[in-house]
Amino acid sequence: MNDNRFNPLALVLGFLRPLDPVLMFVLAALLGYAHVLMQSASPERLDSQITHIGIALAGMWVLAWLKPQRLLSMAVPLYLLGVVLLVAVELFGEVSKGAQRWLDLGVARIQPSELMKIAMPLMLAWFFQMREGQTRFIDFILAGALLLVPVGLIVIQPDLGTSLLIAASGLYVIYFAGLSWKLLIPLMVALVIGLGSIVAFGDTLCQPEVDWQVLREYQKQRVCTLLDPTRDPLGKGFHIIQSTIAIGSGGLTGKGWMDGTQTHLAFLPERHTDFIFAVLAEEFGLVGALVLLAVYVLLLLRGFHIAANAPTHAARLLAGAITMIFFTYAFVNMGMVSGILPVVGVPLPFISYGGTALVTLCLGIGILMSIQRSRFADKT
Amino acid sequence: MTEFRAPAAELARFRLRVVVAAVFVLVCFGLLAARFHHLQVKRHDYFLTRAEDNRIALLPVVPHRGTIVDRRGVVLARNYATYTIEITPSQVRNLDATLDELAGLLPLDARDRRRFRKLYEESRNFESVPLRSRLTDEEVARVVSQRYRLPGVDVKARLLRDYPQGSTASHVIGYIGRVTERDVERIEEAGNAANYRGTLHMGKAGLEQSYEHELHGTTGFEQVEVNAGGRAVRALSHTAATPGNDLELTLDIELQKVAEKAFGDRRGALVAIEPSTGGVLALASMPTYDPNLFVDGISTQDWKALNDSPDHPMLHRAIYSTYPPGSTFKPFMALAGLETGKRTAKQAMYDVGYFQFGGHRFMDDKIGGHGMVDLHKSIVVSCNTYYYQLANDLGIEGIAGFMAPFGFGERTGIDLPGEATGVLPSPEWKRNRFKKPEQQRWFAGETISVGIGQGYNAYTPLQLANALAALVNQGKLFRPHVVKYVVDSRTGERRAVEPEPLRQIPLRDAHLKAVLDAMVDVNRTGTGKRAFKGAPYTVGGKTGTAQVFSLRGQRYVEGRVRERLRDHSWFVAYAPAENPRIALAVLVENGGFGAQSAAPIARQVIDYYLLDQRAGAPAAEDEEGAESEEGAESGGDALPASRIVEPALPLEAPPAPVPSRPATPPAAVPAPQPAAARSAR
């Protein structure tokens, strides 16, 4: 397979070889879209956005070169490191916006929960590979325990959005590993009934004197605001009201690039980060939103394809879980911005401004590419 | 490799799960697409409208500022409604064109425009900026009828502050002024920014400043939906403002008027205190100014006139200017002699007309001296030599140690801003005051002048009055206060500003009696007898004369200078002597001897307080009441004491440099004043 003889062209091709063309196309489309949107939403951040993209692509490339087995061999150390860092955050972390999320290592501030987004599915994939062919019910309990430790640590930071994402990433692995439908279906039903009853009895539950025990006050506020944004139109409901106005006023084809009044009159909060989808929908309309959905669908289908054709059990689980994580990011973000899900602080994948999230997501792409490449490697 | 161990069944099961996941993903994205369709196509028109006239605007509802009334309910500061024309900058496309357009509808002078520019630069974009207030009905009608052509222009009813007493007690009441950028910074630092949204005015002097937190109230909020032109279409919700609390003062505005009138056009200060509570009955600083000038931004000419006047009308002499107390210090010195055991009441000395100390002769006022002088006589005739000797015996440390508890050289803590500390001289003070070592040394000769209230001694009239109040109140020193009650605007509850005893000075009754008896005789047979001739009550007092040393960098004005070099005239008094209800200090700048100009003022004030204002006399409830009281004052003039006052005093003449306040604007119909009505019970 390795036939390059100091040929520059071959060198470049060899350099690019691990990169999956479909995923590269999707990535280019999304990052290009993001760049166009940033020019409208927050032009002063364009330069640092380029820097983030450079770092993220480099990380992606490195992972794409590695073999899936090498990645899986790092699962346990990464997972343990993540847990240790999360404990450290709890003990020495910096408080920002009322939550402890950052750890200052002197050279850089890091957010250990971000590391966990990669380490968690890796760890569980590794775990189920160990139990492959002899998976029993007790293994699912153990996997659940492995999942709960970091999720619990992130919940107490408190960071509801991230803990939900990480919990989801673990659950996806468990799902793909074959947790019985008999268990899954009642779980889903219970979830649906629970959410349904919250919606139905929202008014009673959202009285200020009602204490929700499990969720913190700000989380309760978010859910209550979602149920009835007019409850607090100037405070917490403001985001949702303004973003739905932005989306709705965009119409079929949008108000045109740089012409979104909601965006440019500063009515949209956090318009370059979590609410960038509202900028898109306002300026490019339903057409622009559907284009984005189509690109995401392409990304997800490619991910599922890679998962279905992955050579090993672990690689399958990993690829399936990562694909579902991309979906979760996209769905939760667009759902919250358009007002059908609570505001939980999840970025729009590959579009929202922010280096950490972009690096994490591109590392996920890198893993998918690595798995895709290993298929060929193993066949030779 | 692992895939050989994985049974085909397991792979198939995994692929099924992938398919299920993919279906789930597509369903979810379908949901999103449906949601987008719902928002962007079905409800597009609604959201487009919402976006275009967007904005649920949040408008602050400015609270009514609390009113200020005197101890009998006479209104000293209140609000009245007026129409103002205001511009919201964010809704105006071309500001200059709009202003020109408005100038065609109603008179706008250069001053209005300048002021607007200044406010506009300081304002936040979405808040309206007042252009002109006090519109006439006709002007309102003209602007309203043309409003459709002028986006961002609004006619609003605003409450303006009014001081119905004009320049009377202006230093006490103070005034409000526009909130400046620096005020905003201070407000933000204090974390009150939300409560001052929409507030245009705040207290800048006097009680308006020191009780700002009580008077301001809590700002309410109104949520309004605005149309494309930026005008409020309908209110969505309304959180009412909580009006500021009202103040009821210890001050008696009629007494204050008597005092201010008694000064005529002379400069000076008068402080009258109720000894048993520390409540301030009158606090005059002459000349005064008209606080109404400041309410809507003072004009440059008015400000220049006030600032450049050689009489310094803005200066609050009663609490900020310090003067040597002169002989009014002697009763305190005498008490110091008794309390420290350096003197007994009986002990007498022979006054030869001077006191020889080192190489210097300290002279008495009376050439040849007063002869045999004991403590009683020393006060009655105001014998300097007695006190030269006494000061020397007490030493400066002894004097300072005895005087400090009376509050000399220390802020009294009155509830007004800008109080001066004064100087109670001591070697320690001198060390801190001067930099050069040769200046820092205390000379024994300096002690001698301190003994007669000259030298480095420098106190505010308030300090002197409060020290006297403590003296006649068996040594109980209060924190003087002007506000008696803070009336809660919601509950109507009257929170009393409790008389706050600062300390009890231990004094022997016999000593106190010796001094106070002598003070009564001052007005019977001594230096104050002319002023208090025929008074139907017993009154203690003491004259004083403070030497003026230099012009202190004053501008040279021909004809004024000679007068400005004259001594300041002091008089302190309390009455009735048996059970003092009023203690006061009067200072007349460059008034010469205390007996000559300050004592007659004290006489008029005490006469009014103890005689005219008889028990059962109806309290003045409103302005009409106040005016009828003024009419009665001609009777006060007929009292024997007033004949001693220079006869050519113009009645009610405002101090020359202060222009009289503008006539009540035609459009300004005083709104019903719920707050005022409540407190006038």
- Let me know if residue B656 belongs to a domain: no
Length of chain B: 681
From A353-367, B348-362, B430-444, B613-627, the region with the lowest mean pLDDT? B613-627
- Whether the pLDDT of residue A306 is over 80: the answer is yes
**Residues of A whose CB is below 8 A from B18:** 176, 304, 307-308, 320
Query: What's the confidence (pLDDT) of residue B109?
Result: 79
- Whether the pLDDT of residue A57 is over 90: the answer is yes
User: Which chain B residue has the Cα nearest residue A341?
Assistant: B32
Q: Which of B10, B17, B41 best probes binding to A when mutated, by most A CB atoms within 10 angstroms? A: B17
From B61-65, B227-231, B498-502, the region with the lowest mean pLDDT? B227-231
- Whether the pLDDT of residue B354 is over 80: the answer is yes
Query: What's the confidence (pLDDT) of residue A63?
Result: 92
Query: Span B328-338, mean pLDDT?
Result: 93
Task: Give yes or no: residues B241 and B376 share one domain.
Answer: no
Q: Does the bond joining A229 to the residue before it have cis omega, within 30 degrees of 0?
A: no
Task: Give yes or no: residues B198 and B284 share one domain.
Answer: no
CB–CB of B25 and A297 under 8 A? yes
CB–CB of B3 and A312 under 8 A? yes
Query: Span A245-251, mean pLDDT?
Result: 89
Task: Give yes or no: residues B209 and B330 share one domain.
Answer: no
CB–CB of B36 and A247 under 8 A? yes
CA distance A174 to chain B (A): 11
More confident residue, B662 or B196: B196
- Confidence at B57, pLDDT banded by 50, 70, 90: low
CB–CB of A313 and B10 under 8 A? yes
Query: Span B228-240, mean pLDDT?
Result: 64
Query: What's the confidence (pLDDT) of residue A228?
Result: 62
From A7-16, A299-308, A329-338, B209-218, the region with the lowest mean pLDDT? A7-16
- pLDDT > 90: percent of chain B: 36
Query: What's the confidence (pLDDT) of residue B648?
Result: 35
Query: Span B288-305, mean pLDDT?
Result: 83
CB–CB of A338 and B35 under 8 A? yes
Judge contact between A331 and B32, C-beta under 8 A: yes
Query: Span A208-232, mean pLDDT?
Result: 63
Query: Which of B628, B644, B660 is at the close of a domain?
Result: B644
- Let me know if residue B209 belongs to a domain: yes
Give phi and psi for B60, each to the nearest 5. -75, 140
* CA gap B333, B473 in Å, rounded: 17
- Confidence at B614, pLDDT banded by 50, 70, 90: very low
- Whether the pLDDT of residue B433 is over 80: the answer is yes
Query: What's the confidence (pLDDT) of residue A163?
Result: 82
Query: Span A53-79, mean pLDDT?
Result: 91
Query: Span B593-621, mean pLDDT?
Result: 72
- Let me know if residue B663 belongs to a domain: no
* CA gap A310, A70 in Å, rounded: 15
- Confidence at B669, pLDDT banded by 50, 70, 90: very low
- Whether the pLDDT of residue B277 is over 50: the answer is yes
CA distance B26 to chain A (A): 8
Task: Give yes or no: residues B261 and B238 share one domain.
Answer: no
Query: What's the confidence (pLDDT) of residue B616?
Result: 38
From B52-66, B86-100, B474-488, the region with the lowest mean pLDDT? B52-66
Task: Give yes or no: residues B502 and B369 share one domain.
Answer: yes
CA distance A90 to chain B (A): 31
Judge contact between A342 and A223, C-beta under 8 A: yes
- Whether the pLDDT of residue B624 is over 50: the answer is no
From A124-133, B384-393, B549-558, B619-628, the region with the lowest mean pLDDT? B619-628
The parent domain of residue B472 ranges over 253-644
- Whether the pLDDT of residue B640 is over 80: the answer is no
Handedness of CA B153, B154, B158, B163 (dihedral sign): positive
Complex ipTM: 0.89
Query: What's the confidence (pLDDT) of residue A5?
Result: 59
Query: Span A170-181, mean pLDDT?
Result: 88
Query: What's the confidence (pLDDT) of residue A227?
Result: 61
- Whether the pLDDT of residue A364 is over 90: the answer is yes
Residue positions of B annotated with a catalytic role: 327
CB–CB of B29 and A297 under 8 A? yes
Query: Span A48-72, mean pLDDT?
Result: 91
Q: Does the beta carbon of A316 lie under 8 angstroms from any beta carbon of chain B?
A: yes
A142-158 confidence digits (pLDDT tens)? 888 999 899 888 877 76
User: Which chain A residue has the Cα nearest residue B9?
Assistant: A133
CB–CB of A244 and B47 under 8 A? yes
- Confidence at B635, pLDDT banded by 50, 70, 90: very low
CB–CB of B17 and A175 under 8 A? yes
The 3-state secondary structure of B469-516, one letter per residue: HHHHCCCEEEECECEEEEECCCCCCEEECCCEEEEECCCCHHHHHHHH
B142-192 confidence digits (pLDDT tens)? 888 887 778 778 888 777 888 999 889 999 999 998 887 788 888 877 777
- Confidence at B526, pLDDT banded by 50, 70, 90: confident
Task: Give yes or no: residues B445 and B592 share one domain.
Answer: yes
Query: Span A162-187, mean pLDDT?
Result: 86
- Domains in chain B: how many in total? 2
* CA gap B101, B142 in Å, rounded: 12
- How many helices (H) and strands (E) chain A has is answered by 16, 3
CA distance B192 to chain A (A): 18
From B245-259, B570-584, B643-657, the region with the lowest mean pLDDT? B643-657
Q: Does the beta carbon of A235 lie under 8 angstroms from any beta carbon of chain B?
A: no
Query: What's the confidence (pLDDT) of residue A105?
Result: 63
Query: What's the confidence (pLDDT) of residue A58?
Result: 94
Query: What's the confidence (pLDDT) of residue A318?
Result: 93
Query: What's the confidence (pLDDT) of residue B588?
Result: 92
Query: Span B276-296, mean pLDDT?
Result: 90
Query: Span B563-592, mean pLDDT?
Result: 88
Task: Give yes or no: residues B327 and B408 share one domain.
Answer: yes
- Whether the pLDDT of residue B50 is over 80: the answer is no
Task: Give yes or no: residues B208 and B307 share one domain.
Answer: no
Task: Give yes or no: residues B427 and B528 share one domain.
Answer: yes
Query: What's the confidence (pLDDT) of residue B368?
Result: 82
Rg (CA), chain A: 21
Q: What's B613's domain CATH number?
A: 3.40.710.10
Query: What's the confidence (pLDDT) of residue B377?
Result: 92
- Whether the pLDDT of residue A88 is over 60: the answer is yes
Query: Span A281-290, mean pLDDT?
Result: 93
CA distance B186 to chain A (A): 25
Task: Give yes or no: residues B258 and B168 share one domain.
Answer: no
Query: What's the confidence (pLDDT) of residue B557?
Result: 47
Q: Does the beta carbon of A234 lie under 8 angstroms from any beta carbon of chain B?
A: yes
Query: What's the confidence (pLDDT) of residue A3?
Result: 53
From A100-114, B204-218, B226-240, B510-524, the region with the lowest mean pLDDT? B226-240
Task: Give yes or no: residues B478 and B557 share one domain.
Answer: yes
- Whether the pLDDT of residue B492 is over 90: the answer is no
Q: Return the closest-CA partner of residue A162 out of A241, A108, A240, A99.
A: A99
* CA gap A104, A81 in Å, rounded: 15
The secondary structure of residue B650, as a DSSP letter, is: P
- pLDDT > 70: percent of chain B: 83
The CA-atom distances, in angstroms, between B441 and each of B45, B426, B434 are 87, 10, 9
* CA gap B424, B404 in Å, rounded: 7
The CA-atom distances, in angstroms, between A93 and each of A7, A151, A355, B258, B349 are 51, 17, 20, 70, 82
Nearest CB partner across the interface for B40, out of A175, A286, A340: A286
Query: Span A16-27, mean pLDDT?
Result: 90
CB–CB of B18 and A307 under 8 A? yes
Query: Span B303-324, mean pLDDT?
Result: 89
Query: What's the confidence (pLDDT) of residue A95?
Result: 61
Average pLDDT, chain A: 82
Q: Does the beta carbon of B124 lie under 8 angstroms from any beta carbon of chain A?
A: no
B153-162 confidence digits (pLDDT tens)? 888 877 788 8
The CA-atom distances, in angstroms, between B46 and each of A261, A277, B51, B107 are 15, 20, 9, 43
Report helix, strand or coil for B285. strand
Average pLDDT, chain B: 80
Nearest CB partner across the interface for B39, out of A129, A176, A244: A244
CA distance B41 to chain A (A): 6
Task: Give yes or no: residues B89 and B209 share one domain.
Answer: yes
Query: Span B600-612, mean pLDDT?
Result: 90
Q: Which of B11, B25, B42, B56 best probes binding to A when mutated, by most A CB atoms within 10 angstroms? A: B25
Q: Does the beta carbon of B55 lie under 8 angstroms from any beta carbon of chain A?
A: yes
Helix ranges restricted to H, B525-573:
561-564
CB–CB of A133 and B29 under 8 A? no
- Whether the pLDDT of residue B676 is over 80: the answer is no
